[in-house]
Chains A and B, each alone.
Chain A
Amino acid sequence: MSDATPTNGATPLLEFRQVNTHYGAVHILKDVDLAIYPGELVCLLGGNASGKSTTLKTLLGMVTPTSGEVVLDGEVVNDKPTSYRVVNGVTMVPENRRLFKRLTVKENLQLGAYLRNDRDGIAEDLERIYELFPRVKERLAQKSGTLSGGEQQMVAIGRALMSRPRVLLMDEPSMGLAPALVQQNFELIQQIHAEGMAIFMVEQNANMALSIADRGWVLQTGRVVLDDSAEKLLANPELRASYLGEG
């Protein structure tokens, strides 16, 4: 799975083909190619304003590419709304978690399953999340705004899992977490990945992200400048110089 080129015949779950996006006249993503295969953990690195958030928004359909194709399971979904992509297995844990703070923890989790109608399946998934995060179960009736940062992260991940995604996008999962929680958070991500979930992670903490990822891309001002296996990226002197604060 952690092969540098995991193509060997499988179709990617989610794919960018030569995607360009603009905000007004500003050209953000430039001819970006990405592919996320089932079950892999990949990460996208890059400095500020390199186009990481735009990549996520484009994957989810909140930004429409000006040219190129966003492909979900072999189908071009450029003009499909976010809800279509959520139904078909893409979801995101947003930056800073963005829980509905005035809603209870349980309501947050239920909203994750908003588009699903299978009562039994939803109940089953709720149980799974309680198993994964016993602390969340204790706080179900509490307003989610009253939780600690670490607990909010659990609810945010739980909420995303409630849509039964096949690929989970994570926007800066360690942002705003106490240092002690960052490690715990990455362990969590690994645990979910170990259950077979494909994870696409945008992360500032390049070292940590690459240490658990299979593959990585590096974006620079909207262009993919590096695309390699995580080990090779970690060993890459250029990357070490620019993102890992060395050299």
Chain B
Amino acid sequence: MSTHALTTKSAKRLAAVDRFLTFIRVFLVALIVVGLLAFIWQQVDADNPFARWRNPDARGLTGDQFKGLLISGLSQGSMYGLIALGYSMVYGVLGFINFAHGEVFMVGAMTGFIASEKFAANGMWEQNFILCLLLIVLLAVFFSTFTAVLMERIAYRPLRNSPRLIPLITSIGVSFFIQNFVLGLFGPASKSYPRLPEWLSKQRSILTFEIAGTRLLVLVVAAVSMAGLWYVVERTKTGKAMRAVAEDKEIASLMGIDVNRTIVTTFAVGGAMAGIGGILWGLMFRSVTHMTGFLPGVKAFTAAVVGGIGNLGGAMAGGISLGSAESIAPMVILEPLGVPGVSQLKDAVAFTVLVLVLLFKPSGLFGERLSAEDRA
């Protein structure tokens, strides 16, 4: 009898949770729809009552403004994508979230700063920028990869057979350790990258898009890196081994694949991507501290979940859509709704995207449904 009472009680609570979730779903969708409609109205004719309903001062966006938002969203998002790949790959192979991956990215950005400052000091930065860029990318990739591989060896490998929560918590510890290590070495002051040469950073006009050279560089480098990664994972023997290990370690070793080495490779490749992301971040925002890895790391993790964790295409798509959403949505959805200070709401938008995706498609945009045994 008591169990019966208990089940009805928990059933009631479940119904309440369901109603609450439905309410949030409807609320968020309504917010987006109304915001978009108001935006469209503003664009059509800023003087009608609906357009002025919440925000009487709004005038809508010009085409150029919109394109600007799109470009900045894409370039920001492609950096999230580069970092997200590392989260997703490690999750695919080991089944836990490596929260210290944001720090790997920060190490890349920091390495880039140290190297580029040296180059700037002896004038090489100005004279031969392309060579310097190549060198700092190589150095950043090297140190990021080194950090990622080292953390796997020291912190995660001994925990290989423990419950997945344990490496997850460890990764938070590793994250703090690296942050404070860098803080101890280089101090808390924000460090700025040297200015990019004028010929590179100047505004260009491509296909009617006004785009700053730096953003163009970011987009091109990110696209090339992602294509390279795709090639490695899908077309090479190493990539095949990585995917096999992600799916079934025992059978992978039966094929003769060295599982440990493949896991190290996975960390290394993820680290290299984060290193490239770190350089791009440094070139674009020109400022690095020991905390640089935190927010981009969390956002990239969000992107990986949005795209469907464990899925590399999903990580890239998740990063790009998250970046675009946080750049465009404040002006297109929130501004017409009369929300004050929309440009400060980037981060809130990013995490709302996460909530939305999880509400409607819990496995992420491109994720496969996890079977019960796969779930952590």
**Is A114 interfacial (CB 8 A cutoff)?**
yes
C-beta contact mask, B133-146 vs A, less than 8 Å → 1, else 0?
00000000000000
Which residues of chain B are near A91, meaning CB under 8 Å? 254
**Is A34 interfacial (CB 8 A cutoff)?**
no
C-beta contact mask, B229-268 vs A, less than 8 Å → 1, else 0?
0000000010011011001101111111110000000000
Q: Is the CB of B247 within 8 A of A102?
A: yes
**Is A135 interfacial (CB 8 A cutoff)?**
no
Q: Using CB atoms, name the residue of chain A closest to B253.
A: A82
Query: How far apart are the CA atoms of A163 and B253 in the complex, in Å?
Result: 13
Q: Which of A60, A94, A107, A111 has the most CB of B within 10 A?
A: A111
Query: How far apart are the CA atoms of A120 and B187 in the complex, in Å?
Result: 58
A-B contact count (CB 8 A): 57
**Is A100 interfacial (CB 8 A cutoff)?**
yes
Q: Using CB atoms, name the residue of chain A closest to B368.
A: A102
A contact face: mostly helix, strand, loop, or mixed: mixed
**Which range contains the number of B residues in contact with the other chain?**
10 to 19
Query: How far apart are the CA atoms of A115 and B250 in the complex, in Å?
Result: 16
Which residues of chain A are near B247, meaning CB under 8 Å? 100-103
Which residues of chain B are near A111, meaning CB under 8 Å? 240-241, 244, 252, 255, 257
Q: Is the CB of B250 within 8 A of A83?
A: no
Least CB distance from A58 to B in Å reads 14
**Which range contains the number of A residues in contact with the other chain?**
20 to 34
Which residues of chain A are near B241, meaning CB under 8 Å? 111, 114
Q: Is the CB of B244 within 8 A of A83?
A: no
Least CB distance from B45 to A in Å reads 51
Question: Contacts A83-B258, A114-B237: A100 and B253 contacting too (C-beta < 8 A)?
Answer: no
Query: How far apart are the CA atoms of A86 and B258 in the complex, in Å?
Result: 12
Least CB distance from B307 to A in Å reads 16
Which residues of chain B are near A158, meaning CB under 8 Å? none
Q: Is the CB of B248 within 8 A of A83?
A: no
Query: How far apart are the CA atoms of A115 and B258 in the complex, in Å?
Result: 10
Query: How far apart are the CA atoms of A60 and B250 in the complex, in Å?
Result: 11
Q: Is the CB of B248 within 8 A of A100?
A: yes
Q: Which of A83, A101, A112 has the most CB of B within 10 A?
A: A83
Within the complex, which residue of A94, A100, A115 is in contact with B256, where a contact is CB–CB below 8 Å? A115
Query: How far apart are the CA atoms of A86 and B255 in the complex, in Å?
Result: 7
Question: Contacts A83-B258, A112-B255: A103 and B250 contacting too (C-beta < 8 A)?
Answer: no
Q: Is the CB of A114 within 8 A of B257?
A: yes
Within the complex, which residue of B243, B253, B256, B368 is in contact with A87, where a contact is CB–CB below 8 Å? B256
Which residues of chain A are near B255, meaning CB under 8 Å? 86, 111-112, 114-115, 159, 163
C-beta contact mask, B317-337 vs A, less than 8 Å → 1, else 0?
000000000000000000000
| B-to-A contact residues, CB < 8 Å | 237, 240-241, 243-244, 247-248, 250-258, 368
4 more contacts with CB within 8 A, not counting A111-B257, A115-B256, are A83-B258, A91-B254, A100-B243, A114-B237
